[in-house]
Amino acid sequence: MNCERFEALLADALGNELDPKDRALFDAHLESCDKCREEFDSARKVIGLIERLPAPSTSSFVAAPRAPRSPWRSFLRVAAVMLVSFILGYLARGEREPASVAIPGLPGVGDATVESAIVSAMREHPERPLLTNTLSAIIGNSTAKPSPSD
Amino acid sequence: MTTEFEQFIPDVFRWSYRVLGQYHDAMDVVQEVFLRWQRQCAKEVPAKPRGWLRRVSLNQCLDLKRARTTLTDETSNAAAKGEAPEVEPLDVAALRIDIQVALLALTETQRAVLVAKIYDSMTFAEIASEMEISIPTAKTHYLRAIRTVRPLLLKKWSHNDKNEL
């Protein structure tokens, strides 16, 4: 193998996609060519450094400490719920009981999968657009409770 | 549209967390990427959503870092929210900053290919398909990305090995 062929196979070698037969020739060239060996080793170091950054683990995410809620944020959340309740109640005025817009108990961050845990965590922040849409969907799906019979 | 995006939330979060190292920052990126997803889908749904989302997520991560230039800023931001900032070992934090700076030196495509290869362990064929480029082009981007970040990272980290971090 010459250096030109080495260069052609370098991406595959660094990406762990080298054919076994090419692998043998590639390794043999590394033994014999200082320049190519230095090229390969330094590239491997770079990849190793980038790999070092830790990935999130599901358990650490699920157990992530929640930010302590500021009173102002809690107040805004309650005010938003009350406002929505009032609006829906106003729209449903008439003989029917006002729509009961109890926000269902939002799923806590305790689900097993990262996906559901993330979606659940995001539902706790209604000021954010994604969550507003999700929250609106929840509210929109709420149905009026029938008035209790006497 | 929301449901379709939700299936990609773990990926977007994972890429963001890996680059930013902060739970809340990663969540901010997920939010921002969702907004961009909505705007994009209003015009045209990406043919390869995951590839599109990876590129946009990485861009957002680096935009976030550009906006917060120092670790002090992050600490202040966390304190302003009443949150305890996440603390990681100083060496990992320093390496993360250097990698973020290095990623800024790459083109959008080089960055996406590098992350897809290293963090998602995709083959060049998969990357090429997802990013709608040829396999040789994917390999070229990968090598160019490594060669671009190499001097930036090895200047400081060339003697570090696994045990030192």
Q: What is the pLDDT of residues B82-134, one digit of tens each?
A: 554 556 676 888 899 999 999 999 999 999 999 999 999 999 999 999 999 99
Q: Which residues in chain A are closer than 8 Å to B141, comparing Cβ atoms? A: none
Q: Which residues in chain A are closer than 8 Å to B60, comparing Cβ atoms? A: none
Residues B7-24, mean pLDDT to the nearest whole number: 92
ipTM computed for the complex: 0.81
Q: Which residues in chain A are closer than 8 Å to B157, comparing Cβ atoms? A: 45, 49
> Which tokens belong to B131?
């990013």
Q: Which distant-in-sequence residues (6+ apart) come within 8 Å of A9 by Cβ?
A: A18, A22, A26
Subunit contact B154:A121, Cβ cutoff 8 A = no
- Nearest by CB to B84, from A14, A45, A65: name it: A65
Is the model's pLDDT at A100 over the cut of 90?
Answer: no
Encoded amino acid at B86, one letter: E
- For B147, the closest chain A residue by CA position comes to A43
Is the model's pLDDT at A99 over the cut of 70?
Answer: no
| Cβ B73 vs Cβ B25: under 8 Å | no
Least confident of B3-12, B24-33, B53-62, B82-91: B82-91
Closest residue by Cα to residue A110 from A62, A45, A64: A62
Buried b (16+ CB within 10 A) or exposed e, A124-146: bbbebebbeebbeeebeebeeee
**pLDDT-derived band at A22, boundaries 50, 70, 90:** very high
Interatomic CA distance for residues A1 and A28, integer angstroms: 8
Angle ∠(A5,B118,B142) on CA atoms, nearest 5: 40
Q: Which residues in chain B are closer than 8 Å to A46, comparing Cβ atoms? A: 146, 149-150, 153-154
| Cβ B113 vs Cβ B140: under 8 Å | no
More confident call, A118 vs B10: B10
Interatomic CA distance for residues B42 and A114, integer angstroms: 28
pLDDT of residue A142: 37
Chain A neighbours among B 61-120 (CB < 8 Å)? Answer: 81-84, 88, 92, 95-96, 99, 114, 117-119
Subunit contact A50:B27, Cβ cutoff 8 A = no
Asked if the C-beta of A71 comes within 8 angstroms of chain B's C-beta atoms, the answer is no
- Nearest by CB to A118, from B10, B82, B139: name it: B10
pLDDT of residue A82: 74
pLDDT of residue A54: 87
